[in-house]
Amino acid sequence: MGKRRIVVQGDDRLSKRCRQVTDFNRRLHILLDDMKETLEEAQGAGLAAPQVGILRRAVIVVDDSEEMLELVNPEILDQSGEQTAPEGCLSVPGKWGMVTRPYYAKIRAQDRDGNWFLLEREGLTARCLFHEIEHLDGHLYVEHIDHFMTDEELEEYYAEEEGR
């Protein structure tokens, strides 16, 4: 199929709880490949199946090494610490908000063939994993913010980051 259309905030499918993946078949492989292509084209850091209108528990996250991780039926086993940074979402285009999330994530998930694996990540990749997994329960990052950041606030944040 190739690139799929990304649904945006306001679409019902973004507020639904997604179902477990039970068939690790060709259809799932095509979905995952399409999600990767869609994510690459959109130059995002992560994408969840509901964002392409499929209510199944599957996400793609770009790792520190630019590798795309595929997680099917992901479960958060452990989390710790805290990090606060601007966050955006391909389903909420052009907007940013300050979100606080755990710094560390320990996750269990299945690969495209149904094999379980463990994943430990911190920092930006952990942030992205929490963001994408939340999508599977019908939640968007905007629920964690009190306002969208202005251009000035964004510039200020990045100027301070660079000064460190």
Q: Provide the annotated active-site residues.
A: 132
**Residue 21 or 60 with smaller CB distance to Zn ion:** 60
Alpha helices, DSSP H, located in the chain: 26-42, 123-135, 151-162
**Residue 73 or 135 with smaller CB distance to Zn ion:** 135
Structure tokens at 6: 């990304």
The helix (run of H) or strand (run of E) holding residue 74 is: strand 68-80
Q: Footprint of Zn ion on residues 82-111 (CB under 5 A)?
A: 89
- Min dist CB 91 to Zn ion, Å, is 5
**Residue 71 or 89 with smaller CB distance to Zn ion:** 89
- Min dist CB 127 to Zn ion, Å, is 11
Show Cβ contacts of residue 44 under 8 Å, excluding neighbours closer than 6 positions: 62, 90
User: Taking a C-beta distance cutoff of 8 angstroms, is the pair 157, 86 a contact?
Assistant: yes
- Min dist CB 114 to Zn ion, Å, is 25
Q: Which amino acid is residue 90, in one-letter code?
A: L
Q: Footprint of Zn ion on residues 50-79 (CB under 5 A)?
A: none
Chain positions contacting Zn ion, by CB under 5 A: 89
